[in-house]
Amino acid sequence: MPLLLLGIATIVFVVSRLTPADPLVSIVGERNLNNPEVVAAAKQRWGLDESLPVQYAQYMKNLMQGDMGTSFTTRKPVFDDLVDRLPATLELTATAMVIGLVFGIGLGVLAARNRNRFIDHIARFFALIGSSLPAFWAGLLLLYVFYARLGWLPGPGRLDPRATAPDEITGFYTVDALLHGDFGGLRAALAHLILPASVLGWGVVGIVSRLVRASLLDEFSMEYVRVARAMGLRERTVVNSHALRNALLPTITIVAFTFAFLLTGAVLTETVFSWPGVGSYAVESSRNLDFPAIIGVTILGGFAFLMTNLVTDVIYAFADPRIRLT
Amino acid sequence: MTAVETTPFRSRRRSPAWLRGPALVGVITLVLWVLVAVTLPWWSPSDPLEQVADRLLGPSFSHLMGTDALGRDVFVRALWGARISLPVAAIVIVSSVMIGTIVGAIAGFFGGWIDSVLMRAVDITMAFPPILLAMAITASLGPGIGNALIAMVLVWWPIYARLLRAQVIAVKQREYVESAHAIGASRWLILRRYILPMSYTPVLVNATMDFGQVVLLTASLSFIGLGARPPSPEWGAMITEGATNFYQWWIAAAAGIAIFLVVLAFNFVGDGLRDTFDVKDLGDIKDRN
Amino acid sequence: MTLPAAAPILTVRDLRVTFNTPAGAARAVRGVDLDVVSGETLAVVGESGSGKSVTMLAILGLLPGARVSGSAVFAGTELVGLDPARMRAIRGARVSMIFQDPMTSLNPVLTIGRQLSLVLRAHQPALSKQAAAARAIELVDRVTISQAERRCNSYPHELSGGMRQRVMIAMAIANNPEVLIADEPTTALDVTVQAQIMELLDELRRESGLALVLITHDLGVVAGAADRVAVMYAGRIAETAAVRPLFAAPAHPYTRGLLDCLPRLDSRHDIQASIPGVPASPLSLPAGCPFAPRCRHAIDTCRVAEPELTPHGETMAACDVVIAAGVPA
């Protein structure tokens, strides 16, 4: 595992340094490229005058201490930038995950119980659309319909431009508003949250519902389900108390996968909805060729992904009594 | 004494799954798109890069999806987008499959330290959310559709490496491989003749579904500004234009619908292929005596 | 059908079960008559594919894809075509079934106690969680599993095969059924454990007066446990009798063949006897008697029309040749 992390950091470093594009452009600006003093100063300041191996060593050393360098564009430590923007992304992805799981599992159960009937086909269709529709376009479309045309929901951003965020406790606007007893603020935050979270969550609903349906159908063909039915248990009990427990186990393993999916989607969704999170930070950095920032975000992404895998394994071990060490 | 009737039911012969229902729709759609993409230069109503009418006109009979900020026909541009997205996706998939197959087969077949080293590379690459890695690589190489293509191949090949490796390991243990070994077939021959042919099914299914995902990723990268640059009529770039001209919904809609249709078609076909090769759906035999 | 001593609690008449498969219609059960009497053990014997399990499953409505016709009257209620809600109320409460493979018959992620509670509360909704849990412990104890309370908190994979089968029996008798159907209850178990399970079933039957239907292909088990026997072949009853007459003087060639296959200490043959040929497939049944292709005594009329059960000595057999010709065993 630590080897993996090392590998991640190395890859990212390599990737960022093999650029034919000149990062100096974004640092000093086009005009100053001809000014040797400015260029030399910039090179020294950003460590770009050292040889590559030295740069690598320096970079790794810094990384160990949690220093990801300073962003070319914001002039702040990348680490700080990330910490600043993380809560926004977490709030978005967490909500999307909840939406995705709740509706996904519900839909999957419905589809499995009504196999090959109307609702099964609807669920399948829904899932297919979710994975075929470009999320960023869907976001635009929904914004257009619900905000521009119908005016039901507020526009992009976490809050109205005129509003102020609740005092920061967790960085989650919804939670913070709640903790302050500010129900108006809570409503505003939720209203802004619902559209991007739904767009993000839609894909999850698709994946989860298909998996739950397939797993449930697998369980239905298991002997213990037949036994449960033979013992006269109500179908609802058979599904919820017996089959679902088993069917949800593979769903847990998919949590890691959906997380990657959410991160991917977050990048695009945040851009569309002007959501000030890590995803839009990644996009801005890429556009500006802000390499420390790009490195930082990518490492964060890799790290988060690894963590999720680990956590998933642990949760799975807990959930399946056959695996627990007695 | 009762006379016994023989079975009066006709057995239902079904056409292969990949030609039925939605899969058929998918295949037809894809064929149409390919035809359009290939023949477009001959019959395109207008030039996708030239202004042909007033700017920002809504959909009409002469311009089915209206015009964009530079007065170009949006519908025509959407059609031309296929000439970018489809070949790019094809190259990415084929390259990834090839690289992944080689790496995965070698790793699975030879095992040992080769396997460890190769799989480390795979694991590290797969430790990143694909889009972040693609963004980082493309940003480094410089924005552009060619670099985006390279980035996507670099991101995608590990999936097939893992897939192939798993298949190779599974097939390797089967008896007919052992017999081939026993009669002195060289390891390369075994790999080529026995193992690889048995492994292609999941690759085929995955590749088909992945086609759609690559199209999505291409569009996403362009949307961010890292893939195709203007004035290229790439779908993702068009959606960016559409985002800028928010109230002229048709600009983004054309590209969005185009992407949707293509990806949906691939998903249908992939689903159908998976049904063909998988035996899960057997109808109502509950066979216990 | 040999007339049983008392009025039967379950009467099956002309039961037919057909499956629609992609390869055509599979006629698994083609007109079966059975009588099940309280306090008695009826053994239903046959090879794989004979339809013995399907008969019972169909009666209990556990075959969603099949077409079932005929009659199965339990304590005055017609079970064939009964609406699902009422059938569910009967299943597990008044007519219970246990199955062959204890490994897979229990839910791996729930504790034993929980699974028992679910069965209890399904049929006795008034039972509270605590009461159900307590009753579960009692039941586990009743099926001779020691340390009942600890077992109730265990998971199925922590129990041996024999214990799991006992747990299944516990689930089946939890609501004091009047009929218990046991589908190959001992096939997946060791021989010593087999004896214990059969002993347990017998004890339960004697205690509560329930009717035990024993589905098996093992004639040894039949000899030890059954009061009456029905031998099935290709979806119909080939022969039926009380257990002793069946073993002493079987009439149907199939039954004789089965008994010949049992190795005996006093046998003079050193070669294991077997019935030639393969069992008839429900998808393609020959015209006439289904056993004819494998039967030593078959004559032309056997291949024309299927024989009905007719009395022969103390048994009833579906064979005209043996009876008419008076061929000795």
Task: Tell me which residue of A180, A88, A146, A138 sits closest to A272, measured CA to CA.
Answer: A138
Can you say whether residue A168 is alpha, beta or left, with left for phi > 0 and alpha for psi between -120 and 50 degrees?
beta
Can you say whether residue A118 is alpha, beta or left, with left for phi > 0 and alpha for psi between -120 and 50 degrees?
alpha
Cβ(A261)–Cβ(A207) under 8 Å?
yes
Residue with the two structure tokens 């023949």: B39
Please say if the pLDDT value at position C153 is more than 60.
Answer: yes
- 10-residue mean pLDDT profile of chain A (326 residues): values are 67 66 58 66 63 69 70 78 85 89 89 85 82 83 80 72 67 73 77 86 85 87 87 86 84 76 84 87 83 81 80 78 63
φ/ψ (deg, to 5) at B126:
-80, -5
Mean residue pLDDT across chain B: 78
Residue B3 at interface with chain C, using a CB cutoff of 8 Å: yes
CA dist A163 and B165 (Å) reads 55
Cβ(A134)–Cβ(B260) under 8 Å?
yes
pLDDT digits (tens, 9 = 90+) for B41-71: 888 877 777 777 777 777 777 777 777 777 7
Helices (H), chain B: 21-43, 74-110, 112-126, 130-141, 145-172, 175-182, 187-189, 196-224, 235-244, 249-277
Please say if the pLDDT value at position B174 is more than 60.
Answer: yes
Query: b/e string for B22-50 if b means 16 or more Cβ within 10 A?
Result: bbeebbebbeebeebbeebeeeeebebee
Please say if the pLDDT value at position C194 is more than 70.
Answer: yes
State the pLDDT at residue C95.
Answer: 92
Q: What is the mean pLDDT of residues B203-225?
A: 87
Chains in touch with C (3+ beta-carbon pairs under 8 Å) read A, B
pLDDT digits (tens, 9 = 90+) for B271-288: 788 777 763 332 222 222
pLDDT digits (tens, 9 = 90+) for C229-285: 999 988 889 899 999 988 888 888 888 888 877 766 666 655 666 777 777 788 878
Is A226 in contact with C168 (Cβ distance < 8 A)? no
| Integer-rounded Cα radius of gyration of chain A | 24
Is C63 in contact with B286 (Cβ distance < 8 A)? yes
Closest partner residue to A20 among B120, B133, B142, by Cβ? Answer: B142
DSSP-assigned letter for residue C306: B
Mean residue pLDDT across chain C: 85
Is A231 in contact with C122 (Cβ distance < 8 A)? yes
Q: What is the mean pLDDT of residues B179-207?
A: 73
CA dist C153 and B30 (Å) reads 57
Q: Which residues of C touch A (CB under 8 A)?
A: 60, 62, 88-93, 96-97, 99, 101, 104-110, 118-119, 122-123, 155, 157-158, 168, 171-172, 174
Closest partner residue to B131 among A7, A267, A294, by Cβ? Answer: A267
Closest partner residue to C19 among B2, B10, B285, by Cβ? Answer: B285
Nearest CA in chain C to B283: C21
For residue C78 the two structure tokens come to 């017609």
Is C107 in contact with A249 (Cβ distance < 8 A)? no
Chains in touch with A (3+ beta-carbon pairs under 8 Å) read B, C
Cβ(C167)–Cβ(C123) under 8 Å?
no
Is B133 in contact with A298 (Cβ distance < 8 A)? yes
β-pairing verdict for C77-78 and C41-45: unpaired
Cβ(B123)–Cβ(B201) under 8 Å?
no
Q: What is the mean pLDDT of residues B114-124?
A: 85
Q: What is the mean pLDDT of residues C9-30?
A: 89
Is C57 in contact with B1 (Cβ distance < 8 A)? no
